[in-house]
Amino acid sequence: MSNYQAALADYNQAIKLEPDDADGYRLRDNVYFQLKDYQAALADYNQAIKIQPDNANAYLVRGNVYSKLKDYQAALADYNQAIKIQPDNANAYFYRGVIYQKQGSDRAALADYNQAIAKDGKLVAAIINIGCIKYENGDVEGAIGQWQKAVQINGSVAEPQMALAVAFYAKGEQQKALNMAQAALRLDKSFADVEVLKENLWGTRLVAEAQKLFSHPTIQALRTKQ
């Protein structure tokens, strides 16, 4: 916390000295974002965009602030603007896809995730989310294929490994599932928390199957182990 306060003091001084420099507002906004002071972050990005109205990244990050505030229409407007300014920005398509997925617009979400991957083939988050949508819609093998692809790209990400574990457990491949779940939890124990899964847009079906896996004694032991 003290480091954040020191950073804020530095950026406050920089903005005081150069009030028309958008970088100062963007840097201070990042601190506010980390502190979850989203209203202060929003005010800084409004100012940064006022100074630099053609900065795609500014709209992208302000969209993320609006998303945290659950103002999804404002977030969509900002992602649309970011894409208009910078049509090859993979992250803008990804984040817009996230909003569509949160709103239950799976077709629109899939279109944006596929656009994001077309711009950046290693954007693991989009690949994972496609898998989540496929699983909810009954395409289990399609979902597994997505998560396996994500693991191939980056084996240090816990989420696709846990998703695979859940899918394999639901298919009756218990030992394979337990091995993958243990590997996932060694990377990030938070993926044994149902609320974390929901935050990561795991749907009702996938969460229900995850809860079955989590009730296994092996996983129970890992979840409680410090």
pTM summary value: 0.87
- Asked whether residue 145 is domain-assigned, the answer is yes
Number of domains the chain contains? 1
Q: Up-side HSE of residue 134: CA atoms within 13 Å toward CB?
A: 20
84 found inside a domain = no
- Within the chain, strands assigned E span none
Tokens of 185: 């939890």
CB 92 within 8 A of CB 60: yes
In a domain, 59, yes or no: no
At residue 221, the pLDDT reads 84
In total, the chain counts a number of residues equal to: 226
The C-alpha atoms of residue 135 and residue 36 are separated, in whole angstroms, by 32
In a domain, residue 44? The reply is no
For residue 136, tell me if it sits in a domain: yes
Q: Which one-letter amino acid corresponds to residue 24?
A: G
Tens of each residue's pLDDT in the chain, 226 residues: 557 676 666 656 666 767 766 666 667 767 767 777 888 888 888 888 888 899 898 899 899 999 999 999 999 999 999 999 999 999 999 999 999 999 999 999 999 999 999 999 999 999 999 999 999 999 999 999 999 999 999 999 999 999 999 999 999 999 999 999 999 999 999 999 999 999 999 999 999 999 999 999 999 887 776 4
CATH code, 218: 1.25.40.10
Structure tokens belonging to residue 29: 């906004």
Residue with tokens 């992208």: 60
Q: Tell me whether residue 53 is in a domain.
A: no
Give the Cα separation of 114 and 103 in Å (integer).
Answer: 18
* Residues of the domain holding 191: 122-226
Whether residue 226 is contained in a domain is answered as yes
In Å, what is the CA distance from 154 to each residue of 109, 147, 148, 193?
22, 11, 10, 22
> Is residue 115 included in any domain, yes or no?
no
